[in-house]
Chain A
Amino acid sequence: MTLSTINITNRDHQIAKLSAIAVALSLIEFFFPSPIPGVKPGIANIIILYTIFKFDLNMGIWVSLIRVFVTSIILGSFLSPTFFLSLSGSLFSLIFLIAFRNLDRQNFSLISFSLIAALAHIFGQFIIVRIWIIPHNGVFYLLPIFLVSAFIFGLVNALVTNKLLKLNSKK
């Protein structure tokens, strides 16, 4: 038997800690009642944005995907439609963030990135809903409501992340 050793770096510890916070925020959000069904603030994204800006995009991808999987396992929705909605939303956000990673940081702050990710998240979910869960064009009737919520919460999350980053850099 060969003994395989995994070198745990400081980076892995960081990913684990940040993922844990993101999972905790997701769980809080799950138990918090939402006024409109389906509209959620997505407060776990604060941590993911924070990770991307404090560290790098690679780490953000890790934290985002770990959050999706771990949250679904804890809530018992692993491989259920909820899980796939969450996964496709996250994947789309990440794809868009990767596509726009070279945006000029002088002109584009994290507000832009947050809004782009929120928009991509909605599109990712709508594609899954349209193809699989409700295969009818009627679902697009709800798109404007979700776009407005994505806009508001994308902005709020960005501002909270900004505050967090500032607080952290002061130390």
Chain B
Amino acid sequence: MIKKILQFSKLIKSGDWFVIILFCILIIISAKTLWNLPQGKYLEIYKNNEILAIYSLNQQISKTINGIKGKTEIIINNGRVRFSSSPCSKKYCIHQGWISKTNQTIICIPNKISISIVGTKKTYDSINY
């Protein structure tokens, strides 16, 4: 076993170590930057791809939205949000559970309602207007 490890380490030359370490650093940096999403502040609710409302995540309320098939209920609970009831058949939106990070999204396709978390409130400028 030790002999095999020695053989293995002989195989790797000094330049290879450099490449291996560089590769590992790249993996760590990419994981840290791409997976570390900041906590969201606001919730955007979309109906038929059009924005319906923006709520602050910093509260404890439930909202009912009228979709195409029926009423969808979402619950906001101090920084996180989930679908609690929906008229769709598969209930994927409910099974997704809580979301809390920026850019996380839950979509209910049958009822055409989606919610998305944003970091800062989008202000409406002249272009949007």
Contacts and interface: CB of A to CB of B under 8 A. Distances in A.
Interface of A: 103-104, 106-109, 111-112, 115-116, 119, 138, 140-141, 143-144, 147-148, 151, 155, 159, 162
A156 to B, nearest CB: 12
B27 A144 contact: yes
Determine the main DSSP class of B at the interface with A: helix
A127 to B, nearest CB: 15
B127 interface: no
Contacts of B18: 112
A138 B13 contact: no
B44 to A, nearest CB: 16
A151 B23 contact: yes
Contacts of A155: 20
Determine the main DSSP class of A at the interface with B: helix
Contacts of A162: 11
A115 B13 contact: no
A111 B9 CA distance: 12
Contacts of A109: 11-13, 15-16
B19 interface: yes
A148 to B, nearest CB: 6
Contact of B20 (A103, A115, A138, A140): A115
A151 B15 contact: no
A111 B23 contact: no
Interface in B55-112: 103
A130 to B, nearest CB: 13
B11 A119 contact: no
B99 to A, nearest CB: 13
A151 B19 contact: no
A152 to B, nearest CB: 10
Nearest to A162: B11
Of B15, B19, B34, most buried by chain A (CB within 10 Å of CB) is B19
Given A109-B15, A112-B19, A147-B27, 12 more contacts: A108-B15, A109-B12, A111-B19, A115-B20, A138-B103, A143-B30, A144-B27, A144-B30, A144-B31, A147-B23, A151-B24, A162-B11
Nearest to B32: A144
